[in-house]
């Protein structure tokens, strides 16, 4: 299987860079949630003129390459170059293999950015080469990998990309001593959370949060109205949730797990085609995911306030000595009103 390390000087021309950037722009038009990646495609002739463009519009629709080819007359793609953000697939799902479609169209060259990590869908590059097509991988690979982000993590690990969010005071408290926590952060931070909820496939909390706060777990706008996109509520824990709980009014059907097997929970969600999990549970759930090494990204909303007391944002995460601390890398730092949002990701384990 071809990897991004196979990139070579044969794909370094400015024209190909421009075409790949355009393909990434096209890819961004597709849905950013669900099991399928966002993919864009540009087909150019020998002179570098664009013949057709395409992108994937979601599960069950033509893939980007087929979408682009469909806009050309029979035979018009013969001798052309296809630039695509992800290695063409080589399997039959709801649609046929893109590799076969490109071969049948008579393209002579395929340039892609990121290698497909799917065990079933990969292998398109090898299939194309076997048919005599010049294939080059790794063009703008770093940009392509960053663009595909959570989808790549989900595809490689066979589980959803997990984001853990909490809001806390500067001294790390997520609530006052009596458990009250509304509101530590300001309106701008809370609005940002709702935007991120809407961009996630699922929102996950523990039964403790449901019983204590009775959250709706919906994504809402500034006026309190429901946003168009809503995450699927996921609740983990053994305690019973009353039928009167607000989450049962959620537009999406809630999912319940006992929480004893967190990798199993994530595997189940992945099997349902859910690729992102947004954790908003309390310290018990948050600490369990951190301790299990299942968090891919941290969203920490810090408010300029001091609370003190026992209600920490995290509990025991298995750090028994300072040399076992869990180091993070700061990905971004943003001001939201009076609050600060820190986006951090785990550092790769040292060898």
Scan for tokens 């991120």, then name that residue.
Answer: 196
Query: Mind telling me the catalytic residues?
Result: 65
**Residues 341/334, Cβ–Cβ less than 8 Å:** yes
Checking DSSP bridges between strand 297-303 and strand 161-169, what pairing results, if any? parallel
What CA–CA distance (Å, rounded) separates 127 from 80? 18
What CA–CA distance (Å, rounded) separates 2 from 346? 27
Cα-based angle 301, 305, 308 (whole degrees, multiple of 5) = 100
Scan for tokens 């990701």, then name that residue.
Answer: 345
Extract the tokens encoding 296.
């891919």
Per-residue three-class SS string for the chain: CCCHHHCCHHHCCHHHHHHHHHHHHHHCCCCCCCCCCCCEEEEECCCCCEEEEEECCCCCCCCHHHHHHCCCCCCCCCCCEEEEEECCCCCCCCCCCHHHHHHHHCCCEEEEEECCCCCCCCCHHHHHHHCCCEEEECCCHHHHHHHHHHHHHHHHHCCCEEEEEEEEECCCECCCCCCCCCCCCCHHHHHHHHHHHHCCCEEEEEHHHHHHHCCCCCCECCCCCECCCCCEEEEECCCCCCCCCHHHHCCCCCEEECCCCHHHHHHHHHHCCCCEEEECCCHHHHHHHHHCCCCCEEEEEEECCCCCCCCECCCCCCCCCHHHCCCEEEEEEEEECCEEEEEEEECCCCC
- Length, in residues, of the chain: 351
């Amino acid at each position: 299987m071809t990897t991004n390390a196979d990139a070579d000087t044969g794909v370094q021309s400015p024209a190909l860079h421009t075409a790949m950037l355009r393909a990434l722009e096209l890819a961004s038009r597709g849905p950013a949630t669900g099991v399928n990646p966002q993919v864009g495609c540009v087909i150019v002739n020998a002179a570098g003129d664009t013949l057709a463009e395409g992108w994937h519009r979601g599960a069950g629709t033509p893939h980007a390459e087929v979408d682009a080819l469909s806009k050309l007359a029979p035979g018009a793609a013969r001798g052309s170059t296809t630039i695509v953000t992800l290695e063409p697939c080589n399997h039959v799902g709801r649609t046929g293999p893109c590799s076969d479609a490109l071969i049948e169209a008579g393209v002579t060259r395929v340039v892609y950015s990121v290698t497909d990590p799917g065990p079933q869908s990969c292998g398109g590059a090898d299939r194309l080469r076997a048919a005599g097509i010049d294939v080059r991988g790794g063009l703008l690979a770093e940009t392509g990998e960053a663009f595909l982000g959570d989808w790549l993590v989900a595809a490689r690990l066979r589980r959803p990309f997990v984001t853990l969010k909490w809001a806390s005071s500067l001294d790390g408290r997520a609530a006052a001593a009596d458990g009250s926590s509304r509101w530590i952060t300001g309106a701008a931070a809370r609005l940002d959370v709702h935007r991120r909820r809407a961009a996630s496939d699922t929102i996950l909390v523990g039964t403790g949060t449901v019983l204590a706060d009775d959250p709706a777990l919906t994504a809402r706008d500034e006026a309190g109205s429901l946003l168009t996109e809503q995450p699927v509520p996921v609740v983990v824990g053994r305690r019973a949730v009353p039928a009167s709980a607000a989450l049962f009014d959620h537009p999406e059907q809630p999912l319940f797990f006992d929480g004893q097997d967190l990798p199993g929970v994530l595997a189940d969600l992945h099997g349902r085609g859910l690729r992102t999990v947004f954790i908003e549970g309390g310290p018990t759930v948050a600490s369990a995911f951190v301790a299990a090494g299942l968090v891919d990204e941290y969203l920490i909303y810090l408010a300029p306030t001091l609370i003190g007391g026992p209600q920490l944002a995290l509990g025991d995460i298995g750090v028994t000595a300072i040399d076992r601390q869990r180091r993070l890398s700061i990905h971004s730092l943003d001001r939201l009103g009076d609050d600060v949002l820190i986006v951090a990701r785990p550092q790769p384990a040292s060898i």
